[in-house]
Amino acid sequence: MTDPQSAAASAARYLALVEESTRNLLQTVSELKPEAVAEPSALPGWTRGHVLAHIARNADSLVNLLNGARTGTDIPQYASNEVRDQDIERDAPRPVDVHLADLEASHERFAAAAALLPAEAWTADVRHRTGYVFPASDIPWKRLAEVAYHHVDLDAGYTPAQWPEAFAVTEFRRLATKLAGTDLPAVELIADDTDDRGLIGTGENALTVQGPVRTLLAWLSGRSDGEGLRRTPGTALPQLPPLG
């Protein structure tokens, strides 16, 4: 079992990054023009309003998991997947200032719920909406990923180059590990700014792909077509499966 103090310390580190990333997101949203809400985001079928509504409702869903960890009860992340989708559709068309206020308020609820957890509660198991179980100490990381990835998906000027380095390095390692041994062609990944490496796919004569860790992560996570990455030999990058 994870040591409670270590779990709490890990959560605290990522909560600090959540605060920083949320401030950056709120700044971007505060500068949006009124018509931007109805304009397309980088996510197929979603407007910027859909992305903003999803980010806010995700914060509230993670409050449910935090409260469950604190009280020792199995509180669902969402009432149902249907309710989750309905809430996003309902909230997407709202004016920018309403979205901004909702993002601020939902973040405050998330931060307040996290502050209530004693060290022991961070070791409790909670259940993701898809069914898998994970420790409560991972909740801050999941919130960070939601904010960081979807800030880029908003397509409002924030780019992968602005991701916190700690986020980019950790997510690069996670996605590279997830793709290791899959039926993709073998690709050796080299982050030339952090010296991180990974090997995805299988087979011999691996393609070597090199660049900044944030650029590599943008490609691995589907936020880039790989522009800016150096390839040896200079063949095309493989098509990656959708990844969360």
pLDDT for the residue numbered 1: 62
Mean pLDDT of 68-94: 96
| CA pair distance 9, 13, nearest whole angstrom | 6
Which CATH number among 1.10.10.10, 1.10.3720.10, 3.40.1160.10, 1.20.120.450 corresponds to the domain 4-158?
1.20.120.450
Residue 221 has pLDDT above 60, yes or no: yes
Give the tens place of pLDDT for each residue, 10-44: 999 999 999 999 999 999 999 999 999 999 999 99
Q: Among 46-55, 167-176, 182-191, 231-240, whose mean pLDDT is lowest?
A: 231-240
The class that CATH gives domain 166-232 is alpha beta
pTM given for the model: 0.96
For residue 155, CA distances in Å to 49, 98, 122 come to 11, 19, 34
pLDDT for the residue numbered 244: 55
Q: Among 31-35, 46-50, 115-119, 181-185, whose mean pLDDT is lowest?
A: 181-185
How many other β-carbons are positioned within 10 Å of the β-carbon of residue 241? 11
Task: Give span(s): CATH 1.20.120.450, the chain.
Answer: 4-158
| CA pair distance 104, 162, nearest whole angstrom | 21
